[in-house]
Structure 1
Amino acid sequence: MKDYQRGPVLLRGKNVPTTTTSGRLLAQQDTPDWVHGDPWRVMRIQSEFVEGFGALAEVGSAISVFGSARSKPGAADYEAAVEIGTKLVEQGFAVITGGGPGVMEAANKGASEAGGSSIGLGIELPHEQGVNEYVNLGMNFRYFFVRKTMFVKYAQGFIVLPGGFGTFDELFESLTLVQTKTITRFPIVLFGHSYWDGLVAWLRDVVAADGKISPADLDLIMVTDDVDEAVAHVVTSVKPPAERS
C-alpha cells in the first residue's frame, strides 16, 4: 500500500487525495468564498517557511543537484550523480536534492555513503511521495514556491543533470536570479553535452541572436561531461582560494 505524506499527516488507501495543496491554491474560484478561506492559507505557507528555515539554517555550504526522477540505477546519469554527490561531500559541501528517486536518489546516495549531509526537499504530489532512503535530513513541502526558495537560499550553486520540466524550471529560475543579480557567486553546471548542447545552441543562436538575452548571459552556464570538472567549477566559484583543497 502506497504511503502519502501530507505535511506531518500519513494517508493511505481511499484517503489519498487526487489533488495537491498547491493545485487547490492556484485553482480558479467559482464563488467568492475564497476571500474568507485563502487568508488562512497564508498561515500554513508561513509555517512552511519557518520550518524550512529552522531545519536548514545550520546546513553550511551546500550544492543543489537536479535531474530526472525517472533515471534508473546503472544508467549513466544515475551513476554520475552518485559520483557527484560523493565528491561534493569530499570537498566539504552538503548535497541538496528534491528528495525523490532517479538522479535525486543517486546524488543523495553518494553524499550519504561518503558520510556527508544528504538533504532531500520533497513535494506533495499524487504520483511521487516521500523522500528516498539516502536522505539524512528531509522535508516534505506542500507549496512549490516555498520548496524552491529553500533550494536557492541554502545552496551556493547548482549542478543540473538531464531531466524534464521540473529540472528545466529550477534551471531557468536560477539563471534568472543570477542574471538579474538577485543572487551572486552562484555557479550553474549542466552535466552532459549530448543532452544540453542543443539547449545552449538555441539560447545562443536564437535567443541571444534575437537580442532577448545578452551573449554574456551564456557565460552563466558551464557544460561538461566530466564529474571532476563539474565539482571543481562549483568549488572554485564558491570557496575562497585559501579554503580550496
Structure 2
Amino acid sequence: MTHEDRERHRKGPITLRGAQRPARTTDQRLLEEDGPADWVHADPWRVLRIQAEFVEGFGALAELGPAISLFGSARLREDSPYYDCAVRIAQGVVEMGYAVITGGGPGIMEAGNRGAQEAGGVSVGLGIELPHEQGMNEYVDLGVDFRYFFARKTMFVKYSSGFVVMPGGFGTFDELFEALCLMQTHKIDLFPVVLVGREYWQGLLDWLRGTVVEGGMVSPADIDLLRVVDTAEEALEVLREAATRGPAAS
C-alpha cells in the first residue's frame, strides 16, 4: 500500500491515518450510555475548561469599572500591622472610586476585601483551586473561582488600574513579577505597582539594583516601575498621582 492509499479519518480539523485512526467516532463515544470517563481529563477537554474560565471571568468582571488589585500573604492574621494597613488602603481605594480585587483568601486578601466592603465599595475575590482549600473569605461580594493560575492572573491584569503589593510569599512574588514583565515588554500600559513595607522589600530591591541591574539583566528604568512606601497614606498618594497622570505615564 502506498502512502497515498492509506485510509484516513477526519476528526474535525485533524486528519488521522494508519494506526492513528480511532476505532470509534467522536459521536459514538459521546453517545455511549456507559463508558470510560478518562476523556474529561484529556487535554482537548481541558481547553474547553480553560475557555470556560476566561468566559466566566470576563463575564463576571466586564462591568466592574476601574479597580486596584491588592496582594499579600495569606498567612498574616488580623494582629499583623500589615493587615490593618491593607484594610486602610482598601478603604482609601474605594473612596477614590475604585473596586478592590484580591485573591479572595485569608490574611492580607481578607484585609483588602474587608476594607472595601466596610467602605461600601465593590469587593472582588479571584480564588484558585488548591490542594489545601482556602475558600473565599467572608468579605468577598463578587467571587470567581479558577482552576488555572494563568486564567486568574489574566483577570488581575486586565481589570486592574494598579497593584498594591503587601509582604507575601511566592504567590505574591508571582503576581508582582508578572506585572513588571508585562510592562517591561510593553504588553500592557504602565500602571502603578506599589510595594508596602520598606523593611520587608529592601533586600529584594538591593539585589535587583545591584546584582540584576549591574549584570545587565534589566535596566535601572525597569526598577523605577516600583514605588516603595511604608504607610497606607503613602500608598494611596502614589495611586492618586498615577490616576492624575493617566495610565501611560504611571
- The TM-score normalised by the length of structure 1 is 0.82
User: Separation in 2 of the partners of 1:80 and 1:203?
Assistant: 26
Which residue is 1:61 aligned to?
66
Q: How far apart are 1:128 and its partner, in Å?
A: 3.0
Root mean square deviation, CA, Å: 1.5
Q: Which runs of 5+ in 2 are unaligned?
A: 1-37
Q: Does 1:82 align with 2:74?
A: no
CA shift in 2, pair 1:239/1:56, >3 Å: farther
User: Separation in 1 of the partners of 2:224 and 2:99?
Assistant: 25
Which residue is 2:134 aligned to?
129
Q: Does 1:143 align with 2:148?
A: yes
Q: Does 1:163 align with 2:168?
A: yes
Q: How far apart are 1:43 and its partner, in Å?
A: 0.7
Q: Secondary structure at the match of 2:114?
A: helix
User: Separation in 1 of the partners of 2:198 and 2:117?
Assistant: 27
Which residue is 1:117 aligned to?
122
Q: How far apart are 1:74 and its partner, in Å?
A: 1.8
Post-superposition CA distance 1:143-189 (Å, at most 9, x none): 11100100000001100000000000000110001111111131100
Q: How far apart are 1:191 and its partner, in Å?
A: 0.2
Post-superposition CA distance 1:199-237 (Å, at most 9, x none): 011000110011100011111000000211211212321
User: Separation in 1 of the partners of 2:222 and 2:169?
Assistant: 22
User: Separation in 1 of the partners of 2:221 and 2:244?
Assistant: 23
Q: Give the % identical residues.
A: 63
Which residue is 1:205 aligned to?
210
Q: In the alignment, residue 141 of structure 1 is paired with which amino acid?
A: F
Q: Does 1:70 align with 2:80?
A: no
User: Separation in 2 of the partners of 1:224 and 1:232?
Assistant: 10
Are the aligned partners of 1:185 and 1:238 in contact in 2 as well (CA < 8 Å)?
Answer: no
Are the aligned partners of 2:136 and 2:143 in contact in 1 as well (CA < 8 Å)?
Answer: yes
* Number of residue pairs matched by the alignment: 208
Which residue is 1:94 aligned to?
99
User: Separation in 1 of the partners of 2:187 and 2:236?
Assistant: 23
Q: How far apart are 1:239 and its partner, in Å?
A: 4.3
Match 1:219 to one of 220, 224, 242: 224
Q: How far apart are 1:240 and its partner, in Å?
A: 5.4
- The TM-score normalised by the length of structure 2 is 0.80
| More contact order relative to length (CA 8 Å, sep ≥ 6) | 1
Q: In the alignment, residue 233 of structure 2 is paired with which amino acid?
A: D
User: Separation in 2 of the partners of 1:239 and 1:143?
Assistant: 35
Q: How far apart are 1:129 and its partner, in Å?
A: 3.0
Q: In the alignment, residue 144 of structure 1 is paired with which amino acid?
A: F
Q: In the alignment, residue 77 of structure 2 is paired with which amino acid?
A: K
Are the aligned partners of 2:128 and 2:146 in contact in 1 as well (CA < 8 Å)?
Answer: yes
Are the aligned partners of 1:81 and 1:103 in contact in 2 as well (CA < 8 Å)?
Answer: yes
User: Separation in 1 of the partners of 2:74 and 2:175?
Assistant: 14
Q: Which runs of 5+ in 1 are unaligned?
A: 1-32
Are the aligned partners of 1:130 and 1:140 in contact in 2 as well (CA < 8 Å)?
Answer: no
Q: Does 1:184 align with 2:186?
A: no
Q: In the alignment, residue 227 of structure 1 is paired with which amino acid?
A: A
Q: Does 1:228 align with 2:233?
A: yes
Are the aligned partners of 2:106 and 2:134 in contact in 1 as well (CA < 8 Å)?
Answer: no
Q: How far apart are 1:63 and its partner, in Å?
A: 0.5
Q: In the alignment, residue 166 of structure 1 is paired with which amino acid?
A: G
Which residue is 1:13 aligned to?
none
Which residue is 2:18 aligned to?
none
